Amino acid sequence: MIISRQKDKRELLHHLDGKHKLFLVGCGACATACKAGGEDELFQMQEWLALHQREVTGSLVIEEACHIMRAARDLRQHRVAVEEADALLVLTCGAGVQSISSNTEKRVIGALDSLFLGNVRRLGQYEEKCSLCGDCILNETAGICPVTTCAKGLLNGPCGGMEEGRCEADRERDCAWLLIYQRLTRQGRRGVFARVVPNKDWSRRHQPGKHRV
């Protein structure tokens, strides 16, 4: 899922300048799990807005805000409250914000920062495992992604900064290449060490990305 967190309140206030009436939108999926844009956070946001003399005309939590058509449908059902507002304050990831902005001509203010595609360790603890490079190498790296979990995204083994298997960029973390090497060794294969991995084909990361099944 997409990991997000709320923007700094001072930054948010700056964006709210001149906007007195707001319609709030949250997301029932990722932003709810991240405690950044679910029912509870919408409610807290409403209280905070009241403290800053803002009026809330209505609010809505879309089941999955990244679903463009569903966002359109849900917004239509709140047409009056949306019309009444000076702007929509959207507590979803950037994808959700764009579902909304593609469905209204009103000013849309994003209240969250999107961080990464995250795996869930447990609720509240998220880890970035894949950065969607479009050219997946996991089959050769024993299922551990160096593009994402090596601080330099190297493809052919550890850099000269590895010390005692710890990462140069953060000595608290294991070097991604240590983990890859250990698991490959346990599996009795050489994987990514059996060949020189060629330059990554970044053109496979379609830009701007669209995909039809």
Partner 1 sequence: MSQLSEKLAAGEFVVTAEIAPPKGVSLEQELSLAQTLAPLVTAINVTDNQGANLRMAPLAAAALLRQRGIEPILQMTCRDRNRMALQSDLLAAAALGIENLLLLSGDHPRFGDHPQARPVFDLDSVQLLQAARTLMAGEDLSGRPLQSSPVFFAGAAVAPEAEPFELMMQKVHKKAASGARFFQTQAGFREAPLLRFMEEAKPLGVPVILGVLLLKNARMARYLNDHIPGVRVPEEIIARLESAADPLALGIELARDLVALARRHCQGVHLMTLGCEDRIPRILC
145 binds ligand SF4 (CB under 6 A): yes
Which one of 5-13, 54-62, 90-98, 193-201 is the stretch in contact with partner 1 (CB under 8 A)? Answer: 193-201
CA-based end-to-end distance of the chain: 20
Residue in 72, 157, 173, 174 binding partner 1, rule: CB under 8 A: 157
Interaction partner, residue 138 (partner 1, ligand SF4, none; CB < 5-8 Å by kind): ligand SF4
- Does residue 181 interact with ligand SF4 by CB under 6 A? no
CA–CA separation, 191 and 184 (whole Å): 7
Nearest approach, Cβ of residue 151 and ligand SF4 (Å)? 4
Q: 41, 15, 13: which is closest to 27 by C-alpha? A: 41
Residue 175: C-alpha distances to residues 61, 125, 149, 163, 185 (Å): 40, 20, 8, 8, 16
Q: How many positions of this chain bind partner 1 (CB under 8 A)?
A: 27
Select 80 or 196, whichever has its Cβ closest to partner 1: 196
Half-sphere exposure of 120 (CA within 13 A, CB side): 9
Residue 200 touches partner 1, criterion: CB under 8 A: yes
137 contact choice in partner 1, ligand SF4, none (CB below 5 to 8 Å, kind-dependent): ligand SF4
Distances in Å between the Cα of 106 and the Cα atoms of 37, 154, 162, 164, 183 are: 20, 44, 51, 55, 52
**DSSP state for residue 4 in the 8-state scheme:** E
> Which DSSP state fits 202?
G
User: Is residue 155 a contact point for ligand SF4 (CB under 6 A)?
Assistant: no
Q: Choose the one of partner 1, ligand SF4, none that binds residue 155, judging by a C-beta under 5 to 8 angstroms depending on kind.
A: partner 1
Question: For 4, phi and psi rounded to 5 degrees?
Answer: -140, 160
DSSP symbol at 19: -
Instruction: By CB under 6 A, name the binding residues for ligand SF4.
Output: 130-133, 136-138, 145, 147-148, 150-152, 154, 158-159, 161-162, 167-169, 175-177
Instruction: By CB under 8 A, name the binding residues for partner 1.
Output: 151-165, 168-169, 177-178, 181, 193, 196-200, 202
